[in-house]
Amino acid sequence: MNGHVVSAADVGVGEERTTIDQSSGCERLEQRVLSFAPGRSDERRTGERQEVLYVAAGRGRLHVGGASYELEPDTGAFLVPGDSFAVENPGPDELVVVSVTAPCEGEERSQLTVRYADRESLTATPNREFRFLVNEDLGCLDVTQFVGTIPPGRAPLHSHHYDEVVYVVEGEGVLHLAGEDTPIGPGSCIHLPPLQEHCLENTGPTPMRVLGVFHPSGSPASKAYEANE
């Protein structure tokens, strides 16, 4: 499998859209973009899978097990199998959430939500940085959720051992994958299979920010291969 890209125009708003799943070659992870209109959503259930959420736009509340948690842009949330939850949007704007589900092999949840602003900035390469959102620090033992920052320019082609889905939060660029160059921008969704060489090039004047979720857990800085460029 060479990977998969869904353009922002194909995702749409005002709906629940499955962007990456088994039908696109991703065996374990399922990525969805959820748009919540003002009001309180119907109750949702995780079932037998774990689910990590990321607020891409808007503000609201996440209701889980009788407790309520604030949602704002750059908030991550960790839901375990058997959770029931609802999302409340006070309006007037839509609340856009990126959901990724995965099989749960182990969890010891100590915290349900986490803010990007409260997490440490770490170095991926000399000029790229990332911050963990949901990872083992919150008791999520086999999935990692992070936000990465990519400065203008292009890094060498590289690959990872893990299976990853990506959502472009902001910025414009080009995905170099499987010999093809695909324009990407806010809302673009990407599947990067294990050991598939790729590169996200930032063609804009300001940093690009991407949400990544991968399995098994680890660090975005780890690479299986990196070209000498």
Domain termination site, one of 73, 104, 135: 104
161 plus 135 within the same structural domain? yes
What one-character DSSP code corresponds to residue 157?
Answer: P
pLDDT of residue 225: 65
Rounded Cα–Cα distance for residues 63 and 32 (Å):
19
Calculate the average pLDDT of the chain: 92
Using alpha carbons, select from 146, 137, 119, 126 the residue that is nearest to residue 209. Answer: 146
Domain termination site, one of 104, 130, 145: 104
pLDDT of residue 13: 46
Rounded Cα–Cα distance for residues 163 and 61 (Å):
30
124 plus 80 within the same structural domain? no
The tokens for 40 are 């309180």
Q: Is residue 59 part of a domain?
A: yes
pLDDT of residue 128: 87
Q: Is residue 109 part of a domain?
A: no
195 plus 121 within the same structural domain? yes
pLDDT tens, 23-80?
999 999 999 999 999 999 999 999 999 999 999 999 999 999 999 999 999 999 999 9
Q: Is residue 72 part of a domain?
A: yes
* Extended strands (E) in 58-207: 60-64, 67-71, 75-79, 84-89, 95-103, 113-115, 122-125, 128-132, 144-150, 158-159, 163-170, 173-177, 180-184, 189-192, 198-202
**Cα dist. 98→120, 128, 223, 225, 229 in Å?**
22, 23, 25, 28, 33
Q: Could you give the angle at the alpha carbon of 188 between the alpha carbons of 51 and 165, nearest 5°?
A: 40
127 plus 211 within the same structural domain? yes
Q: Is residue 227 part of a domain?
A: no
pLDDT of residue 8: 58
Q: Which structural domain, as residue segments, surrounds residue 131?
A: 116-218
pLDDT tens, 115-130?
999 999 998 776 789 9
> From the centroid of its chain, how far is CA 147?
7
pLDDT of residue 151: 95
Question: Sheet of 122-125: strands edge to edge?
Answer: 4-6, 189-192, 163-170, 208-215, 144-150, 128-132, 122-125
42 plus 95 within the same structural domain? yes
In the predicted model, is pLDDT for residue 191 greater than 90? Answer: yes
CATH number of the domain enclosing 154:
2.60.120.10
3-state SS class at 172: coil
Dihedrals phi, psi of 72, to nearest 5 degrees: -145, 165
The tokens for 162 are 């893990």
Q: Is residue 111 part of a domain?
A: no
Q: Is residue 145 part of a domain?
A: yes
124 plus 210 within the same structural domain? yes
pLDDT tens, 120-164?
999 877 678 999 999 999 999 999 999 999 999 988 888 889 999
Structural domain total, the chain: 2
Rounded Cα–Cα distance for residues 27 and 101 (Å):
11
In the predicted model, is pLDDT for residue 1 greater than 80? Answer: no
pLDDT tens, 4-35?
878 755 654 457 899 999 999 999 999 999 99
**Which residues have C-beta within 8 Å of that of residue 120, sequence separation ≥ 6?**
131, 132
88 plus 139 within the same structural domain? no
